[in-house]
């Protein structure tokens, strides 16, 4: 595999050299102005990653940016599609579509509770979305996506250890027009997306956008009469109103709603040597299940439920100029989301494990900042952030509901008691959680010379958390409470527990960048990232589980370069980073007792390199390639009582590679055909800290392709597309439940999908 990877990299390098060769680029290092106007160039990308409008090449941050046009050309309509174009980014969906867990440069999370905030922050139009229940259907009518790598805090509303993903929607532009696309594909996939914009006056504009997807399940269910799993049923609507009466005021109001209610994901389990469920079933003379006759994307269960995810959101973004050189920005938001799903944990006719989850989240945030625009060498951003998040949650875990422990012809509370409080038992917990975050932040820059700029920033954060009405009970098969596990009472079934934390933190960043002659820069920085404390929402089986994980921190050193060569026909960027990771929050599960503890992994180290090349060979032909290398290592810590020093972190492949070719083929009077091929590679990775072979995912390639036919004015088009062209199979998540349940829990990727999309602009 390593030889194959080296060969691939060598080919990519050779292609890059060929792309940069004098023949391909007309042997010109820097064309004159008239020549530049007639030569192919890479499109300038304007971003707001540093809360200022800047060319991405002038931003001294490692980041990947996809414009709205690139998102459409690559067929990126969901969060999980991002992985094909961003090096060192891995995405899993442990709770199904629309609920992504991001791993960026090896910084990730292993506790997928509905109450957690991840180390990679997600922002919709600068509004922090802290909880999965409020993310909604966000990938439609986007102007661009920005993926920022490394700790964030001096510029952003919420501080994070791993990075930030910014989704920027299109704003009204005081024009009248719109767009509409509709498609059909295999798995009976219907899709539609569109936007309508109306200029209500010269200073007032409105825009309404929508998306809709419906498709049959991609995990076939062999159980007679039961639906296939992992289907698609979702829609989202966003309305925007923009008021821009003068250069001193720009106000945008947005409201959105979304619904996702597909058949839930399927779990094609990997049986152990005695079959799924054998460690318990065999005690009662019942054989385990070996998934006989099923392939890797098939299940056999009568118990597939529908997910129900609903979101509503309102946000107001205002830029107010306070004179010639100071702008006040206000971002105010309200979000509400509910999510409900039921999971058959092994995808067999057995009633070995079924989990039900419900969560409701309400979030209010306010971000205020002042941004300077002085002519002199000094400029600043200072801001304050307030976030309030309230969550209510309840979960049921049901085990072996088909075993009559006492052989009396029925399965009831006595079976649970006789089975040792596990077999034929229902473990239930519920709680209310409130988190409040208050912060003050600053970002300062000073132009020491025409070529050297010093940068720095500080952030003070106070995080408070309240856990109330926490209750964990053992219940009978009919859900009748038997006794409290937490706080621990067999007499007072209404007894509850509560916990609090109150932490503060000072983090920051210092850096320097140096502008070289021409269109190139060097930069270096040191930063500290911070992720707040967390309650353990996975407390079911023991009072010891109810605990608070301490905040995690990262110290990051990064150096990089950005360059545009040959008259902006080539863009070549790179960075190297070193992270010292302290107190990473991880979920530690005891395989014998199932006790789940949210603990801190004392020390880890992550080092890596990223290189990103884009080339516009001709007006019609473009090429890109990106390589990410990550070396992650646990320096100090244990999992399941085993020393894991020297092991790799989860979802952290050593190598990721992405490459693409786009080619516009003239068709004379018929217009043109725009063809594109994208490919991505990820080397071997592990889904647990023990680095067991049973939780490993071997290296794999993904390939997508698309060709769109359109007339010269590009007012409409017809596209043929294929995702996962080679029908590659891999697992997006794994958990080894072999000891207690006799199987390995798997989430699997989607198979090959293909279809046709028609679009029109008016």
**Three state DSSP letters for 538-569:** CCCCCHHHCCEECCEEEEEEEEEEEEEECCCC
Is residue 65 helix, strand or coil?
Answer: strand
Query: If we measure between CA atoms, which residue out of 544, 402, 418, 405 comes closest to residue 482?
Result: 418
Structure confidence at residue 34 as a pLDDT band (50, 70, 90): very low
User: Are 701 and 680 within 8 A, CB to CB?
Assistant: yes
33 or 692: which carries more pLDDT confidence?
692
**Dist. CA 117–CA 130, nearest whole Å:** 5
Side-chain half-sphere CA neighbours of 279 within 13 A: 14
pLDDT score for 751:
97
* Residues contacting 6, CB < 8 A, separation 6+: none
**Cis ω for the linkage preceding 487 (within 30 of 0):** yes
- Other beta carbons less than 10 A from residue 176's beta carbon: 13
Tokens of 101: 């867990």
- Residue located via tokens 């820097």: 30
Beta pairing partners, 364: 334, 388
pLDDT score for 39:
65
Structure confidence at residue 83 as a pLDDT band (50, 70, 90): confident
CA dihedral 687, 690, 693, 695 (to 10 degrees): -30
Residue 351 has pLDDT above 50, yes or no: yes
Structure confidence at residue 32 as a pLDDT band (50, 70, 90): very low
CA 397-401-406 angle, 5° bins = 130
Residue 27 has pLDDT above 60, yes or no: no
User: Are 50 and 329 within 8 A, CB to CB?
Assistant: no
* Residues contacting 527, CB < 8 A, separation 6+: 150, 151, 153, 154, 507, 508, 509, 510, 511, 555, 556, 558
**Dist. CA 204–CA 42, nearest whole Å:** 33
**pLDDT tens digits, 202-233:** 999 999 999 999 999 999 999 999 999 999 99
Query: If we measure between CA atoms, which residue out of 369, 479, 499, 380 comes closest to residue 432?
Result: 499
**Dist. CA 374–CA 54, nearest whole Å:** 15
Tokens of 483: 């006794």
Structure confidence at residue 81 as a pLDDT band (50, 70, 90): confident
pLDDT score for 7:
34
349 or 138: which carries more pLDDT confidence?
349
> Looking at residues 713-734, what average pLDDT do you find?
95
User: Are 489 and 483 within 8 A, CB to CB?
Assistant: yes
Whole-angstrom CA distances from 50 to 46, 151, 263, 337, 714 are 11, 13, 40, 29, 33
pLDDT score for 30:
42
Phi, psi of 372 (to 5 degrees): -95, 155
pLDDT score for 98:
65
User: Are 545 and 560 within 8 A, CB to CB?
Assistant: no
Structure confidence at residue 72 as a pLDDT band (50, 70, 90): confident
Structure confidence at residue 20 as a pLDDT band (50, 70, 90): very low
**pLDDT tens digits, 496-542:** 999 999 999 999 999 999 998 778 999 999 999 999 999 999 999 99
Residue 49 has pLDDT above 80, yes or no: no
pLDDT score for 38:
54
> Looking at residues 282-289, what average pLDDT do you find?
95
Residue 94 has pLDDT above 80, yes or no: no
Tokens of 626: 């990106």
Least confident interval from 25-39, 75-89, 471-485, 583-597: 25-39
Note the helical H segments in 50-195. 68-74
Whole-angstrom CA distances from 181 to 233, 405, 460, 762 are 17, 57, 46, 12
pLDDT score for 35:
43
- Residue located via tokens 């039961």: 226
pLDDT score for 19:
34
- Other beta carbons less than 10 A from residue 332's beta carbon: 17
**pLDDT tens digits, 236-282:** 999 999 999 999 999 999 999 999 999 999 999 999 999 999 999 99
Residue 655 has pLDDT above 70, yes or no: yes
Domain ranges of the chain: 2-216+233-269+304-346+354-401+421-761
**Dist. CA 735–CA 744, nearest whole Å:** 6
Residue 85 has pLDDT above 90, yes or no: no
User: Are 696 and 647 within 8 A, CB to CB?
Assistant: no
pLDDT score for 73:
86
Q: Tell me which DSSP letter residue 266 carries.
A: P
Rounded-to-5 percentages of helix, strand, coil across the chain: 10, 55, 35
Indicate the helix (H) or strand (E) that contains 340.
strand 326-344
- Residue located via tokens 């933190």: 505
**Dist. CA 195–CA 243, nearest whole Å:** 19
Side-chain half-sphere CA neighbours of 742 within 13 A: 22
* Residues contacting 335, CB < 8 A, separation 6+: 127, 129, 134, 311, 312, 313, 361, 362, 363, 364
- Other beta carbons less than 10 A from residue 649's beta carbon: 27
Q: Tell me which DSSP letter residue 227 carries.
A: P
- Residue located via tokens 């995912």: 697
Whole-angstrom CA distances from 161 to 167, 453, 629 are 19, 25, 19
| Count of H-run helices and E-run strands, the chain | 6, 43
* Superfamily of segment(s) 2-216+233-269+304-346+354-401+421-761: TonB-dependent receptor, beta-barrel domain (2.40.170.20)
> Looking at residues 459-468, what average pLDDT do you find?
96
Whole-angstrom CA distances from 434 to 331, 460, 463, 494 are 21, 20, 11, 21
CA dihedral 743, 749, 752, 754 (to 10 degrees): 140
Structure confidence at residue 320 as a pLDDT band (50, 70, 90): very high
- Residue located via tokens 């010379």: 449
Indicate the helix (H) or strand (E) that contains 353.
strand 353-372
> Looking at residues 59-71, what average pLDDT do you find?
88
Query: If we measure between CA atoms, which residue out of 387, 337, 394 comes closest to residue 362?
Result: 337
**Dist. CA 118–CA 532, nearest whole Å:** 10
Is residue 699 helix, strand or coil?
Answer: coil
User: Are 734 and 746 within 8 A, CB to CB?
Assistant: yes
- Residue located via tokens 């057995």: 350
Tokens of 202: 């010269």
- Residue located via tokens 């502008």: 515
**Dist. CA 411–CA 303, nearest whole Å:** 18
Indicate the helix (H) or strand (E) that contains 34.
helix 33-37
Whole-angstrom CA distances from 539 to 175, 487, 496, 543, 642 are 54, 11, 13, 8, 21
Beta pairing partners, 525: 511, 558
Mean pLDDT of the chain, nearest integer:
90
pLDDT score for 658:
94
Q: Exposed, middle or buried, 276 (CB in 10 Å: 0-12/13-18/19+)?
A: buried
**Cis ω for the linkage preceding 128 (within 30 of 0):** no
Whole-angstrom CA distances from 642 to 518, 649, 704, 727, 753 are 54, 15, 41, 37, 42
User: Are 548 and 534 within 8 A, CB to CB?
Assistant: yes
**Dist. CA 750–CA 83, nearest whole Å:** 14
């Amino acid at each position: 595999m390593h030889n194959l990877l080296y060969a691939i990299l060598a080919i990519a390098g050779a292609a890059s050299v060929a792309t940069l060769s004098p023949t391909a680029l007309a042997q010109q290092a820097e064309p004159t102005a008239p020549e530049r106007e007639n030569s192919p160039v890479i499109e300038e990308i304007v971003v707001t990653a540093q809360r200022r409008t800047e060319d991405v090449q002038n931003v001294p941050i490692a980041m990947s940016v996809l414009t709205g046009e690139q998102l459409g050309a690559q067929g990126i309509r969901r969060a999980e599609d991002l992985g094909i174009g961003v090096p060192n980014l891995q995405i899993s969906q442990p709770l199904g579509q629309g609920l992504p867990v991001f791993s960026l440069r090896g910084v990730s999370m292993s506790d997928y509770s509905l109450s957690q905030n991840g180390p990679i922050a997600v922002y919709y139009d600068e509004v922090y979305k802290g909880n999965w229940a409020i993310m909604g259907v966000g990938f439609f009518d986007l102007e661009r996506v920005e993926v920022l790598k490394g700790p964030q805090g001096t510029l952003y509303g919420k501080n994070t250890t791993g990075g930030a993903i910014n989704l920027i929607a299109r704003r009204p532009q005081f024009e009248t027009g719109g767009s509409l696309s509709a498609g059909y594909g295999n798995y009976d996939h219907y899709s539609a997306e569109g936007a309508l914009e109306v200029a209500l006056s010269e200073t007032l504009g409105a825009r309404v956008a929508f998306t809709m997807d419906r498709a049959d399940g991609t995990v076939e269910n062999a159980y007679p009469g039961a639906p296939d799993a992992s289907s698609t049923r979702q829609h989202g609507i966003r309305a925007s109103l923009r008021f821009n009466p003068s250069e001193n005021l720009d106000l945008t109001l947005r409201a959105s709603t979304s619904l996702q209610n597909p058949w839930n994901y399927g779990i094609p389990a990997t049986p152990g040597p005695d079959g799924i469920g054998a460690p318990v079933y065999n005690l009662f003379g019942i054989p385990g299940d070996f998934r006989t006759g099923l392939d890797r994307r098939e299940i056999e269960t009568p118990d597939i439920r529908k997910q129900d995810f609903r979101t509503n959101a309102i946000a107001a973004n205002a830029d107010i100029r306070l004179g010639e050189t100071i702008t006040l920005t206000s971002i105010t938001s309200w979000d509400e989301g509910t999510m409900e799903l039921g999971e058959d944990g092994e995808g067999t006719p057995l009633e070995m494990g079924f989990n039900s989850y419900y969560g409701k989240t309400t979030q209010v945030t306010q971000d205020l900042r002042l941004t300077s625009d002085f002519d002199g060498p000094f400029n600043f951003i200072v801001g304050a952030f307030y976030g309030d998040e309230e969550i209510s949650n309840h979960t049921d875990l049901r085990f072996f509901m088909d075993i009559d422990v006492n052989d009396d012809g029925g399965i009831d509370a006595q079976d649970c008691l006789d089975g040792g409080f596990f077999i034929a038992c229902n473990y239930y917990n519920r709680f209310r959680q409130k988190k409040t975050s208050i912060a003050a932040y600053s970002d300062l820059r000073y132009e020491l010379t025409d070529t050297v700029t010093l940068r720095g920033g500080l952030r003070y954060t106070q995080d408070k958390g309240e856990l109330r009405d926490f209750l964990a009970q053992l219940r009978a098969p009919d859900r009748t409470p038997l006794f409290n596990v937490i706080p621990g009472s067999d007499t007072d079934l209404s007894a509850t527990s509560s916990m609090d934390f109150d932490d503060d933190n000072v983090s920051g960043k210092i850096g320097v960048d140096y502008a070289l002659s021409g269109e190139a820069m060097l930069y270096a920085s040191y930063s500290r990232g911070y992720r707040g404390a967390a309650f353990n929402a996975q407390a079911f089986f023991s009072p010891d589980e109810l605990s608070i994980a301490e905040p995690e921190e990262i110290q990051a050193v990064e150096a990089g370069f950005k360059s545009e060569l040959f008259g902006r026909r080539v863009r070549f960027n790179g960075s190297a980073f070193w992270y010292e990771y302290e107190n990473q929050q991880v979920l530690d599960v005891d395989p014998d007792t199932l006790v789940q503890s949210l603990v801190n992994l004392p020390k880890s180290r992550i080092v890596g390199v990223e290189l990103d090349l884009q080339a516009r060979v001709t007006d019609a032909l473009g090429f890109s390639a990106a390589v990410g290398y990550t070396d992650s290592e646990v320096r100090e810590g244990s999992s399941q009582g085993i020393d894991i020093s020297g092991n790799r972190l989860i979802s952290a492949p050593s190598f990721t590679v992405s490459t693409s070719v786009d080619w516009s083929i003239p068709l004379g009077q018929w217009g043109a055909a725009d063809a594109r091929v994208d490919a991505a590679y990820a080397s071997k990775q592990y889904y647990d800290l023990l680095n067991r072979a049973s939780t490993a995912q071997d290296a794999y390639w993904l390939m997508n392709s698309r060709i769109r036919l359109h007339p010269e004015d590009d007012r409409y088009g017809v596209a043929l597309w294929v995702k996962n062209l080679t029908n590659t199979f891999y697992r997006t998540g794994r958990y080894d439940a072999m000891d207690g349940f006799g199987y390995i829990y798997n989430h699997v990727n989607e198979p090959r999908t293909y279809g046709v999309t028609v679009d029109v602009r008016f």
